[in-house]
Structure formats: structure tokens, C-alpha cells
Structure 1
């Protein structure tokens, strides 16, 4: 990009175009390291192009270097924000988070949370709720229930402002399940009662199911709880929430309506006792029948 007598300014756009062409050629040849190098040079001559960085991140996916995807897209999102395109930034963050959440779940959470913050700043309430919810679901898989409850509550709070009632009811069921997995009945009950302020929640099927589940949990009735979480309302929730329902254990839970099995051959005290040597021993003299006594008497005097 040298200047000359008839060229006073470097042709950055032309250079970026050539680097992009080189990147395409390297990619077709599966020379991925050179592809990334060309894309990063294209980004540099374009004064840090976020789109070129995103393209490089896709190559890192081919190389299964997932941590580099997160770092690169996060940098790209910062550039988008600097250039006043927050929508593009949040989309890039969400796309990268989805790409890495299986392999780098904690980094994926960070990207979802950043996307959530970007959307909040732009008053994109529904999308902000979605990003908080995606972070919550990963926290559930990691069994980090405190953070899961926090982010699910954030999703609920956002959705409550846009009157998304059907989804809200399902999320309230999930929030109660999370608190019960924490063995925190009080928090579960408080979350349930707080939902009474949501339009038509009280008369919903979900509210009735939650109330029954809380009652079974409080009474330590594992059998009742199992029956409730096997109902269609719980079984057809999102997969992460269904697993919470399926794995719910009631502390000290008892199976109602069932008694301990009796021990086989057990008899009331003092009746039918057997000796320590086992129940198959021959009867003693006191217990012999008449026929047995006659057989013994026949030889009582010995042989003649």
C-alpha cells in the first residue's frame, strides 16, 4: 500500500479486498492458519473490521479452537459498538455463544450475558430476556443453581413487561424447580407468590401444578411429588426444565400409602420359634407324633 506520484493515499479498501480473496483461496485449500492470517490482515487494513474477525472465528471452529472464537468475537463486538451498530454486536455475540456452548459453556455464558447487556442498553427487552434465559439454561446444566435462578428471574422480569403470559407461566414452574433443587422451600414459595401479580397467573394450570408440588414437598411426600412432575405440564417443558422435574428429590421423602414389606416366614413372638440351627431340624421328643413313638417303642427292648 505504498503511495506514489499519482497515488497520495493508500488503497485500504483494495488491500482488504485482496486479503479477502487470498483468505478464500486458502480456505478452499483447507490451509486454515493462512486463512485466518489473511482475514486478520484484512481486518487490520480496514481499521479493525469486525466482519473479518467474525469470518476468522468461523475458521477457528473448523480447528476446534473454541476459546479463540470467544475472544475474537468479543473483540469484534466491541468494534461494532464503537461504530454504533449494537444490533450487529449482540447478534455476533449470540452466534458465537451458541457455537461454543457445548465445549466452552462458561465462556458462552459470558457472551450471552454481554449480549443481554447490549440489548438492555438498546431497550430490546424481548431479546435481552432471551439472552438471560440462554445463560440460565447453561447454568442449570452446570448445576450452578444460584446463578441459574438469578438469570431466569431476569428473563421473567423482562418478559413480564411485554405481557408474554404463556411463557411466563412455564418459566415460573422452572424457577420453583430450581429453588427446590437448592432445598430452599422458602424461596420457591416466595417466587410462586410473587407471580400472583402477573396477569391471569393465579387461575392458570401452571399455578395449580406449582401449588400441588409445593404442598407435596413441604409434607415430604415423594410419591405425590413424582406423580405431579410426571404430568404433561412438566413433561413437555423445555428439556433442561424437564430434567429438573424428573430429578427432583424431596428431603426425607416417604412413599405415601406404602408400608414396609414383612419379613418372609416371620411369626408372632412366641409362636412357631425355630432353633438356631434352622427350621429343618427333626422334632424333639416332646413334639413327636404317636406314629413316631410307636416306631421307637418297637425296638425299645433291643434285638433278640
Structure 2
């Protein structure tokens, strides 16, 4: 049996959706079936451009016949083909649309997953959009009280921020992960996220911000009594003493080697600045405090 010509299927489907003097309403049900057959035919031919267009139209058709779940699935197929074609703007747009359609079905997990797929596809080509997609994917799960399902997304977004050398953003995202972990009582993940943020500030050679971060996190009892907190305390002591070898030793300790690889790599490069300058700044601050008569 001969395989139907996808071009003819597309033409027939397009005709069914166009209004005329003899057709007052579009026949989306039959048109959608034809678009789906055409998409499969084009994909078999490896004509990705036309397959992408057919899946877009099939998605629109499923929307028109009130089937948002199937519409989302077709939109994801179009997005995957856009990735193959290197159409990065479409990758983002299509996965975002798929996410919206899943949310219409009341399904937060597939909605978040769609954005995560888009983010993963864009990490190398458009990393800034990738972190936006990861962030939006986290928001969907956070709003649904499913923070624990977002842990891999926090991890992925942090990794992209580090690759972009946007270290402050990476630390902020790790603190956000810590808050999410606190909500679902994932103490180990929470403490690891806080230690990771402290390490990033130390890598930035921003000792003051690292200490502030440590002090803020220490308001949480679970962190204060954790191995990760003790590890951070040892790092601060080594920094204050200007002991480079001790910093390197602590960076090899168990609490750090159990963090994500991207954080371990940063920790192994500590210290990144001049510790003598750090001690000099602290000494100057102490002198200022002594002169403060208020």
C-alpha cells in the first residue's frame, strides 16, 4: 500500500480549515488528523522543516477541538524539531506554549518538564534564556507545593549561572533552593545548598558576603548543627588566619566532596584572592570600630 503524500495531506487539511462560500465552518477534527499524518510522513522523509510546520498545525487543531493535552504533545514535537534545525527562538516559544497547554490541563509536572526540556536544549546556544526557562519551571512546581520535584532544576540553573560566570546569581539560586528544601523538610539538600552558596561567595573573594550568608543561614537550626556548617566555619577560620594549606585541606573534606561537581570545582580553586589584603581590610574595619563613639 502506497504511503500517503504528506504534501497532499497538508493541502487537504489546509483546505478543510479555510472558510469559503461553500464551507462556513472549519472542519478542525478531520484537518487535525490529516496534519498528524503529514507530520509523521515528513518526519519519515527527514524533512524536519515541514514536519515542524505540520506538528504546529496539528497542535493548533487539537486546541480547536478542545484537547490541550494532545496539543501540548504536538507542540513539544515541533519544539524538538526546531532544536534539530537550530531555530532557537522557536525552541523557547514552542516549549513555553506546550507548558501553557499542560497547565490548562491542570498538570504542573508536565508543564514544568516542558520548560526544563527547552532549557536543556538552549543551555549551549542561548544560556540566558535557558536559566529563564529553568527558573520558570521551578516557579510552576513551587506554586503547586512540589518543591522537591524541582531539585534537579535548581541544580541545572546553578550550573548554567556558573558557566556564565554569573556567580552572584548562582549563589542567590542556591539560597532559593535552600528555602525550597526547607519547605519539604529535605534537610541534607538544604544544608548542601547553603554551603554551596558560601563557597561561591568565597570563590568570588567576597569574604564579607560569604560571612553574611553564613550568619543568615545559621539562623536555621538544622544548618547550624550540620556538618556543612562546621565545614564553613573551618573555612572562615582558615581565611582569617591566612592559612592557604588549611583552606585547601578543608576543600578536600567530605562535606564539600559530596556537593555538586560544579561547586566542588570552585572549592578546589580556593583561595582565589590575596589573603593578606583580606586581613588588612579586616584590620582597617577594627580600627574604624574602635573610633566609633556612638
Q: Same fold (TM over 0.5)?
A: yes
1:300: which partner in 2? none
Q: Distance in 1 between matches of 2:222 and 2:142?
A: 27
How far is the alpha carbon of 1:239 from its aligned partner? 1.0
How far is the alpha carbon of 1:112 from its aligned partner? 0.8
2:35: which partner in 1? 19
How far is the alpha carbon of 1:211 from its aligned partner? 0.8
Which structure's residues are more often helix, by fraction?
Answer: 2
Q: 1:42-121 to 2 correspondence within 5 Å?
A: 42-47=58-63, 49-82=71-104, 84-121=106-143
1:288: which partner in 2? none
Q: Distance in 2 between matches of 1:205 and 1:77?
A: 39
How far is the alpha carbon of 1:90 from its aligned partner? 1.3
Change (3 A) 1:223 1:86: same
Q: How many residues align?
A: 253
SS at match of 2:124: coil
Contact 1:130 1:155 in 2 (8 A): no
Q: For structure 2, which runs of at least 5 residues remain unmatched after alignment?
A: 1-15, 65-70, 277-294
1:136: which partner in 2? 158
Q: CA RMSD in A?
A: 2.6
Q: 2:187 aligns with which of 125, 146, 165?
A: 165
Change (3 A) 1:250 1:46: closer
Q: Distance in 1 between matches of 2:175 and 2:258?
A: 21
TM norm structure 1: 0.74
How far is the alpha carbon of 1:93 from its aligned partner? 0.6
Contact 1:40 1:52 in 2 (8 A): yes
How far is the alpha carbon of 1:82 from its aligned partner? 4.4
1:30: which partner in 2? 46
The structure with the largest alpha-carbon Rg is: 1
